[in-house]
């Protein structure tokens, strides 16, 4: 079972921008209700895409520089990176089929849920 990795400002570049595989970054905060709703979905996506997609979580309260650098105004926000570049931004709660469909459009090896 894959577990999303917690990423900080100190390792964001090495874990996300320099990753050889696409990375889904979940920007969240403990006090955010919709973030807590999307947490289990992120876990399921990490499980189902292991080896094809790296899934990481960024606590915006502990790492304010990351959302600032990315221009994130609302959470939950998920940002998909490929080759160190942002390719897709997803704002707000998405269920697993919705999220997998979006990811399948950008990442080879992910099947869209039906």
Which is it for the CA torsion 99, 79, 34, 39, positive or negative?
Answer: positive
Q: Where are the beta strands (DSSP E) in the chain?
A: 5-6, 23-28, 54-59, 77-82, 85-91
47 is catalytic: no
Residue 74: closest CA among 93, 95, 96, 54: 93
Number of domains in the chain: 1
Residue 87: domain span: 5-104
Residue found under tokens 């990315």: 70
Q: Is the pLDDT of residue 112 over 90?
A: no
82 is catalytic: no
* pLDDT for res 2: 75
Per the domain annotation, does 113 fall within a domain? Answer: no
Out of 2, 21, 32, 91, the active site residue is 32
Model pLDDT for residues 10-41, shown as the tens digit of each residue? 999 999 999 999 999 999 999 999 999 999 99
Per the domain annotation, does 111 fall within a domain? Answer: no
Rounded to two decimals, what is the model's pTM? Answer: 0.94
Model pLDDT for residues 46-74, shown as the tens digit of each residue? 999 999 999 999 999 999 999 999 999 99
CATH (domain of 84)? 3.40.30.10
């Amino acid at each position: 079972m894959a577990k999303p990795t917690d990423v900080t400002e100190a390792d964001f570049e090495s874990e996300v921008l320099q990753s050889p595989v696409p990375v889904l970054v979940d920007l969240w905060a403990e006090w955010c209700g919709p973030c807590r709703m999307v947490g289990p979905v992120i876990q399921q996506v990490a499980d189902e895409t292991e080896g094809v997609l790296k899934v990481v979580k960024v606590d915006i309260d502990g790492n304010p520089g990351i959302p600032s650098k990315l221009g994130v105004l609302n959470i939950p926000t998920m940002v998909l990176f490929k080759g160190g570049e942002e390719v897709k931004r997803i704002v707000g709660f998405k269920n697993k089929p919705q999220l997998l469909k979006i990811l399948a459009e950008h990442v080879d090896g992910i099947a869209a849920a039906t």
